[in-house]
Structure 1
Amino acid sequence: MIRPVLIRPAITGASPSAVSPAINPHRGLFSAFLALALAALLLASPARAQSILRDAETEQFLRDISAPLVEASELEEGNVDIVLINAPSINAFVAGGQVVYLHSGLIEAADDVGEVQGVIAHELGHITGGHIVRRGEGTRAASNISILSLLAGIGAALAGSGDAALAAISAGQRAALGKFLAYSRSEESSADAAGARYLSEAGISGRGSLTFFSKLQNLEFRYQRRQDDDATFTRTHPLSGDRIAILRDSYERDPAWDTPSDPELQARFIRIKAKLSGFLADPNATLRDYPVADQSVAGRYARAYAYHKSAQVDLALAEAESLIASAPNDPYFLELKGQVLLESGRVDEALPPLRRATALTNSEPLIAAMFGHALIATEDEANYPEAEQVLRASVSRDRFNPFAWRQLGTVYAAKGDMPRARLASAEQQVMSRQYSQAIRSAQAAESGLPAGSPDWIRAQDVGLQARALLEEQLERAGR
């Protein structure tokens, strides 16, 4: 099941207050423009306006391909998340915490699992280098230049030279922007070196990393971006050609250079690409890329999602059945069949494959959430105890799933347990940024739960979290 989720609390980024107040937007349009340009660079957080794609198979795959790199980086196992963003651009980033964000467009652009591992290794280099935490060093250096240029401009203005004032401020803003960009490029070079080291220690060839950089370079050529030395100073990243030249020497001397990608991981990667294509792309485009003549697992997988997306239920089920016939115990094929049946209104038929998928994955949270939803959708109260059981298991292992919390709240409400229904609503509302509603729901839950019980304590925690996030939201709006 691939499901877009609009938020994830782990995403953090700079707030507008991170820009030095010394950048005065009232000192001429040119100065204001440069101030805004610098602010955009400093504050860009690609995750804030994007949705996250949640899928059990994809998330397990990303954990598996990153595990040896996380170990090589000496970060604590299990504390690094790889999150997929629904965005067609070829991008990856970190934005605070130990979380690597990959755009779906990056997965689409890659042809080999080693390319994705190279990107992940680079982003882990940003985490271990503390680049997000230390970003203030770069902004402070830029801000100091801004302050000096502003003071010089004020002096010129007081002396009666408006043109000289504007020139001084504008020159300072350009210098500040250049200072920040230079700092950003140094961080990127540092992350490149760290990523190469992690690939080496994990025994993964750097060929994929170089291939991916070559793709980025080709895009730069396609969009006619300058590749000369002067262009370097206007970029947040070093030129792709320079990065390739530096990394190639390191990679080719590494013992892992001739090591091929793990064939099992590569096969799984091809499946993931097909699955994402079927879910995200226009069905006609998917059917063009994966025609009926393509009877590979990837081809059938992509078509199943494309058919389901275009409401061709029988064709989607035929592809799903074909996949299950080839691998009866593959939980993700069973999940696919259950999803098609459930979302086509054939709820009772969806229960067996979803129950089996849940059992095979030991109640994987996302699959269990869908199974719990199917049990509720039968509108048979006899199924509600099982729904409560699987949904509680789901949220206990993955609290960041508003869909599961909403379903669990429905079960509690149906059985008349309104305090816990309101607590489930509060959990879901916090993740949906409905902070005022979350505060009210948490207070209502707390008043109806036994004092000192785990759920009573959790209601207090959720209420405090929602209140803190609301205050932060209001403070940002005020700024």
Structure 2
Amino acid sequence: MLLSLSFAFAMQPAAAQSILRDAETEALFHEMSKPLIEAAGLSPDNVQVVLIHDGSINAFVAGGQVVYVHSGLIAAAESANEVQGVIAHELGHITGGHVLRFNEGVKMATGIMILSMVLGAAALAAGSGDAGMGIIAAGQQAAMGKFLAFTRTQESSADQAGASFLTKAGISGKGSLSFFKKLQNQEFRYAIPQEDSYARTHPLTGERIQALEQVYHSDPAWEKPSDPALEARFQRVKAKLAGFVDDPKRTLALYPETNKTVPARYARAYAWHKTAFPEKALAEVDSLLKTQPNDPYFLELRGQVLLESGRPEEALESLRQAVRYAPNEPLISSLLGHALIATEKPDNFIEAKSVLKAAIGRDNSNPFAWYQLGIVYDREGDHGRAALATAERYNLENQPRLALANAEQALQSIPTGSSDWIRAQDIAMVSRTAVETEKRKGSDGVR
């Protein structure tokens, strides 16, 4: 821990990693985290839980009110309750302001190191070479020890805060302890020393478990069972994610065809789709829809398989139904917009424009939706707004040069002073600053 896909899954670049976006997963994260966020005194509207495509068992916060969860953590978790324990811990980092206070630890360590270098240099100047080098080395060791102690304190603080949020929310801490024991087993497996936490950023996992057991065992919610419906949804999302990110052979081994459960059929549908067996994928989805014909996420997947198999016209009915049953899911609406455009029928472009604008109105941080809307504007001959939509896309994808070029093109075509013109001006200003910063960094590297 640092401070520690739509369509139906889709990847969105995020620095060196990729964000996985999926309507069903995000809805589940929201429901799982909402009582914890409220218990932490934060607003559920302002806190996000974001899924990162990374196979390691990890979660972190990196500033703001965003909790990042690795896909590997979801794969390792056995229950929604375990993930809630992780989210509670990360909320402890947020409420503790640990990212903001990180520089305090760096500053303390740096102060010790500078002092040791000054004293060491003085000893060297006086002719005591060995003593001088010893002072510098000892100072470096002390500085690192001070910094690691600082991060361990933050981790312990986040553990206790997370436990208090679980208690206040009336959620059992069994999942939290269970997940810590998984981490401890990983440490045993890779022979990570367990005797001394001095050289670690985190306290020993065994120490953390012992401290939390005292809290959780006395909590009235300790024996409270997790919501069965929530747990069932978690198993669906876990299987869905496995089908999307894992090698299909692995997915089919984990979820063989003899397994007729909902999660297994869900995972296999993704595996068959990835291996270009659309009929097998559709057979799995259709078997799911026989039991739950109005499930928007099954309908979404059916539409996705048809669309990505080159059958956009056939995908429309399933996607329209998915939007009908989940009208507030902009990621599903974006997929419908994509399918409408893919039919290449001019009559469908009017509906696509309406659907995509509504989707962006609910979630304007989806580069794919902006890309699709740009196609509609371009087909209409509205090249200024097509350029603006493209600028929005590149701005979200952190490509400032392309965002700047398209924003400047939009400014030349969109009526001056209009809301779209002002937005293009904002993107141009931000992108120009980013480009100049890149140039300065590049020239600094040359010198």
Aligned residue in 1 for 2:253: 288
AA aligned opposite 2:387: R
Aligned residue in 2 for 1:144: 111
Q: Does 1:454 align with 2:412?
A: no
Q: Does 1:102 align with 2:85?
A: no
- In 1, the alpha carbon distance for the partners of 2:213 and 2:439 equals 49
Aligned residue in 2 for 1:227: 194
Aligned residue in 2 for 1:30: none
- In 1, the alpha carbon distance for the partners of 2:330 and 2:438 equals 30
- In 1, the alpha carbon distance for the partners of 2:95 and 2:433 equals 28
Over 3 Å counting, the alpha-carbon distance change for 1:273 and 1:184 in structure 2 is same
Q: Let me know the Cα RMSD of the aligned residues.
A: 1.3
AA aligned opposite 1:3: A
- In 2, the alpha carbon distance for the partners of 1:110 and 1:184 equals 25
- In 2, the alpha carbon distance for the partners of 1:475 and 1:368 equals 41
After superposition, what is the alpha-carbon deviation per residue over 1:114-147, rounded to whole angstroms, capped at 9, x for unaligned?
A: 1000000000010000001111111110110111
Q: Does 1:356 align with 2:363?
A: no
Query: Structure 1 stretch 452-461 or stretch 192-201: which is displaced more?
Result: 452-461
1:412-423 → structure 2 map (5 Å cutoff): 412-423=377-388
After superposition, what is the alpha-carbon deviation per residue over 1:408-457, rounded to whole angstroms, capped at 9, x for unaligned?
A: 11111111101101111111111222211211211221221112211111
Whether the 8 Å contact between 1:363 and 1:393 is mirrored in structure 2 is no
- In 1, the alpha carbon distance for the partners of 2:239 and 2:368 equals 25
Query: Structure 1 stretch 395-404 or stretch 90-99: which is displaced more?
Result: 395-404
Query: Structure 1 stretch 444-453 or stretch 185-194: which is displaced more?
Result: 444-453
| 1:93 partner SS | strand
- In 1, the alpha carbon distance for the partners of 2:145 and 2:264 equals 48
After superposition, what is the alpha-carbon deviation per residue over 1:86-114, rounded to whole angstroms, capped at 9, x for unaligned?
A: 00100000000000000001001110111
Query: Structure 1 stretch 308-317 or stretch 359-368: which is displaced more?
Result: 359-368
Picking from 267, 289, 297, the partner of 1:332 is 297
Whether the 8 Å contact between 1:118 and 1:206 is mirrored in structure 2 is yes
Picking from 146, 152, 156, the partner of 1:179 is 146
Tell me the CA shift for residue 160 of structure 1.
Answer: 4.5
1:89-238 → structure 2 map (5 Å cutoff): 89-228=56-195, 231-238=196-203
AA aligned opposite 1:283: P
- In 2, the alpha carbon distance for the partners of 1:394 and 1:404 equals 8
Tell me the CA shift for residue 165 of structure 1.
Answer: 3.9
Tell me the CA shift for residue 154 of structure 1.
Answer: 2.5
Picking from 215, 226, 230, the partner of 1:265 is 230
- In 2, the alpha carbon distance for the partners of 1:369 and 1:465 equals 26
- In 1, the alpha carbon distance for the partners of 2:18 and 2:90 equals 20
Tell me the CA shift for residue 465 of structure 1.
Answer: 2.1
TM-score, scaled relative to structure 2: 0.95
Q: Does 1:240 align with 2:247?
A: no
- In 2, the alpha carbon distance for the partners of 1:71 and 1:382 equals 46
Tell me the CA shift for residue 232 of structure 1.
Answer: 0.4
Aligned residue in 2 for 1:14: none
| 1:133 partner SS | helix
Aligned residue in 1 for 2:432: 467
Aligned residue in 1 for 2:272: 307
- In 2, the alpha carbon distance for the partners of 1:61 and 1:433 equals 27
Over 3 Å counting, the alpha-carbon distance change for 1:388 and 1:269 in structure 2 is same
TM-score, scaled relative to structure 1: 0.89
Tell me the CA shift for residue 324 of structure 1.
Answer: 1.0
Whether the 8 Å contact between 1:125 and 1:192 is mirrored in structure 2 is yes
| 1:205 partner SS | coil
| 1:6 partner SS | strand
| 2:100 partner SS | coil
| 2:286 partner SS | helix
Tell me the CA shift for residue 155 of structure 1.
Answer: 2.2
Tell me the CA shift for residue 178 of structure 1.
Answer: 1.1
Q: Does 1:2 align with 2:19?
A: no
Picking from 61, 69, 82, the partner of 2:49 is 82
Query: Structure 1 stretch 446-455 or stretch 418-427: which is displaced more?
Result: 446-455
Tell me the CA shift for residue 262 of structure 1.
Answer: 0.6
- In 2, the alpha carbon distance for the partners of 1:153 and 1:406 equals 59
Over 3 Å counting, the alpha-carbon distance change for 1:162 and 1:424 in structure 2 is farther
Aligned residue in 1 for 2:347: 382
- In 2, the alpha carbon distance for the partners of 1:439 and 1:154 equals 50
- In 1, the alpha carbon distance for the partners of 2:20 and 2:136 equals 44
Picking from 58, 62, 74, the partner of 2:29 is 62
| 2:416 partner SS | coil
After superposition, what is the alpha-carbon deviation per residue over 1:189-227, rounded to whole angstroms, capped at 9, x for unaligned?
A: 111111000000100000000000000111111111111
After superposition, what is the alpha-carbon deviation per residue over 1:249-292, rounded to whole angstroms, capped at 9, x for unaligned?
A: 10010000000111000000000110011111111111111111
Q: Does 1:367 align with 2:309?
A: no
AA aligned opposite 1:190: S
- In 2, the alpha carbon distance for the partners of 1:209 and 1:436 equals 44
- In 1, the alpha carbon distance for the partners of 2:410 and 2:325 equals 35
Tell me the CA shift for residue 171 of structure 1.
Answer: 2.1
Query: Structure 1 stretch 467-476 or stretch 280-289: which is displaced more?
Result: 467-476
Tell me the CA shift for residue 468 of structure 1.
Answer: 3.1
Identity %: 56
1:10-89 → structure 2 map (5 Å cutoff): 48-89=15-56
AA aligned opposite 2:313: D
Structure 1: gaps spanning 5 or more residues? 8-47
| 1:382 partner SS | helix
- In 2, the alpha carbon distance for the partners of 1:247 and 1:476 equals 46
Aligned residue in 2 for 1:256: 221
- In 1, the alpha carbon distance for the partners of 2:44 and 2:271 equals 36
Picking from 376, 382, 391, the partner of 1:426 is 391
| 2:142 partner SS | helix
After superposition, what is the alpha-carbon deviation per residue over 1:372-427, rounded to whole angstroms, capped at 9, x for unaligned?
A: 11111111111111111111111121121111111111111111101101111111
Structure 2: gaps spanning 5 or more residues? 1-7
